[in-house]
Amino acid sequence: MSDILFDTVGRAGIVTLNRASALNALTEPMVRELGDALDEWERDDRVERVAIRAEGKAFCAGGDLRDVFERRASATPFFATEYCTNHRIGTYKKPVIALIDGICMGGGVGISVHGSHRVASEKLVFAMPETAVGLFPDVGASHILSELEGETGLYLGLTGARLGRDAAAEIGIVTHPTDASRMGDALDRVAHGRDLDGGLDELKVETEPRDPDEIAVIDEAFSAGSVREILDRLDATEGAFSDGAAKAIRTMSPTSLEVTFREIRRAKGESLAACLTMEYRIVCQILEGHDLFEGIRAILIDKDRNPHWSPATLEAVEKEAIDQHFKVPHDGDLLIPGAASR
């Protein structure tokens, strides 16, 4: 059975992620096939919209990092293909509806949040936890996070914090919060409904607001001019929330933290294509380094959860090393089909 399935039902092209045992982690063939299907359906007048759904308890937990670990620097084509598919979704001429009924992290964010509609149930767990494995928020996440109100985007990028359906809806990640029991209805309305927006709007449920005190801490601490200063501000703020955020940051790859800080700051106001081009530059350098493979080893391979970062501290990270992540790779920038004409 294929890891990704394609069908046409009623008015819609239906994509089903079918790798449930691996939490629907994306492989290079999966993102390539998804991009090809989108190209075909965009030319097909019988397909009015596209839905992306998944089997199992996860929508998509991210990219297949075990494969990246094995391929090392030769994994560059996976990221290039993935980023081009992310751009395809973000610039698609027809509605793309993600039906998210579970975990949505990393690569799962890239194939959902760039679309026009994000329907999510109370089972949603949203996060960009890349700094924990020596990576950085990619798949166009710099574009998404940099545009969130206040400093929430930088907070999510640095800490890898997880959000549920209600918080994700409040910040705009989810457009249609609903209940798990109505996800089948959502798929039916995508496939057969004449009025897509009206049909999905009927499935919306009321959500609980975020804690205003936590938002205040985020906006104050993460508006600082450096990761080090963010930590200083969190340390100076009493409370379990600020303590937890500081503790999380201190477990992350120092290099990833510095890259992520600069990445999200630079992404503000930039197009999705520009952000993906920047992210490709970063990942090419990351794949030549140490921390990503050490993070994957510690979290996914040996599972000792004790990565040995190099450099091991923020103070030891050199500015010149971070600068290198934002330079054009030896083999050139990412070529995104259609980016210049859109």
Q: At what angle do helices 152-159 and 212-221 cross, to 10 degrees?
A: 80
**Which residues on adjacent β-strands are paired with residue 53?**
16
Look up 40 and say whether it is catalytic: no
Instruction: Specify whether 199 is catalytic.
Output: no
Annotated catalytic residue within 62, 63, 134, 160: 63
Q: Quick: pLDDT tens for 76-109.
A: 999 999 999 999 999 999 999 999 999 999 999 9
pLDDT at 340 over 80: no
Domains annotated for the chain, with CATH where assigned, are 1-208+247-342 (3.90.226.10)
Neighbour-count burial of 1, counting CB atoms closer than 10 A to its CB (0-12 exposed, 13-18 middle, 19+ buried): exposed
Residue 185 among the catalytic residues: no
Helix (H, G, I), strand (E, B) or coil at 247: helix
138-193: pLDDT as tens digits: 999 999 999 999 999 999 999 999 999 999 999 999 999 999 999 999 999 999 99
* 239 noted as active-site residue: no
Q: Quick check: 338 pLDDT over 90?
A: no
The one catalytic residue among 130, 170, 263, 294: 130
Q: Cβ(148)–Cβ(170) under 8 Å? A: no
* pTM score of the predicted model: 0.97
Grouping H, G, I as helix, E, B as strand and the rest as coil, residue 330 is: coil
Q: What is the mean predicted confidence (pLDDT) over 268-296?
A: 98
SS3 109: helix
The answer to whether 41 and 52 are in contact (CB under 8 A) is no
Catalytic position from the list 13, 56, 90, 107? 107
